[in-house]
Amino acid sequence: MRPSDTVGNTPLLKISDKLYAKFEVFNPSGSIKDRIATYIINNAEQKKLLKKGDTIVEATSGNTGIAIAFIAAERGYKVKIVMPKNMSEERKQMIRLFGGEIIDVEDGDFDRAIALRDELSAKHGWFNTNQFFNPLNIECHEKTTGVEILRQTENIGKISAMILGTGTGGTMMGIRKTLIKEYPKMKVIACEPAESPVMSGGEHGTHGIQGIGDGGKFLVDLKVLDEILLITTEEAKERAKKLIKEKGIFVGFSSGANVLAAERWIQKNNPEGIVVTVLSDRAERYLSLF
């Protein structure tokens, strides 16, 4: 068995009576992004678009970069990761440890990171996993994360809502596709950084909830969202700290944002069924920022 064969099939944690969360830190490189990295790379290998020694290029806030660098180390690819300078040092160290090379762009500038990735891919013929626009990103969560949640909640209760922040939007749109077939009345709620409320119609700004609020809607179909909740970086960080100290759930800031948004929504709406969210990554990659 290879490390990448252990991706997915993560546990579903009970956070409170009505709130359940996919514990994605169980993936081998520590985040939900192992799912799309393996899915897209496996697909490219099957289509013979990738062979040993080739170079993969991607733009990322870090976790996709870590995930791709991990699989590349396992399978013998080279990796170039384009990312904004203000992403955590731990993320950069992990990418480098797996053998990836980092190309910096200015703080929070995902548009530039994506444009530079495309230029580099075209110029050098590097394989572009294209996470922000790749339908395989959605398909992966539809066929894996969403299906797992359906199975894991079967004996717990009906799902009233799913609530989570979006980066590429792949997690949100993929899980939704699976769950909405079983629960057509399910509410779909996004959360985004209050400092950069782009999907709510506000201005793009820098924020510290790495992994979500990348400055665009990307794969998110805004028409399917029932609500968008705003969470500040400080609130997300404090909620993550409390999950760690009071529950032993060692997760990063976007997980804090997801849990807080879900708790606020549950408090206000008192749903009949349960609410699901995800705990996207492990807290180690934020130690310098807590």
Residues recognised as catalytic: 33, 254
Q: By CB under 6 A, is residue 30 in contact with ligand PMP?
A: no
Which residue, 115 or 122, is less far from ligand PMP as judged by CB? 115
Q: Which of 10, 31, 88, 233 binds ligand PMP (CB under 6 A)?
A: 31
Beta carbons of 114 and 121 less than 8 angstroms apart = no
Give the distance between the most distant pair of CA atoms in the chain. 54
Which residue, 79 or 212, is less far from ligand PMP as judged by CB? 212
Which residue, 64 or 160, is less far from ligand PMP as judged by CB? 64
Q: By CB under 6 A, is residue 165 in contact with ligand PMP?
A: yes
Which residue, 64 or 121, is less far from ligand PMP as judged by CB? 64
Q: Where in 122-161 is the site for ligand PMP (CB under 6 A)?
A: none
Closest of 71, 254, 274 to residue 168, by C-alpha: 254
Q: By CB under 6 A, is residue 215 in contact with ligand PMP?
A: no
Helices 170-182 and 145-153: crossing angle, nearest 10°?
40
Q: By CB under 6 A, is residue 281 in contact with ligand PMP?
A: yes
d(CA 57, CA 78): 9
* Non-local CB neighbours of 284 within 8 Å, separated by 6+ positions: 30, 90, 250
Minimum gap (Å) between residue 48 Cβ and ligand PMP: 27
Minimum gap (Å) between residue 135 Cβ and ligand PMP: 13
Q: By CB under 6 A, is residue 168 in contact with ligand PMP?
A: yes
d(CA 131, CA 170): 8
* Non-local CB neighbours of 16 within 8 Å, separated by 6+ positions: 263, 266
Burial 172-205 (b: 16+ CB within 10 A, else e): bbbbbbbbbeebeebbbbbbbbbbbbbbeeeebe
Total residues at the site for ligand PMP (CB under 6 A)? Answer: 18
Q: Which residues bind ligand PMP (CB under 6 A)?
A: 31, 33, 61, 63, 165-172, 211-212, 252, 254, 280-281
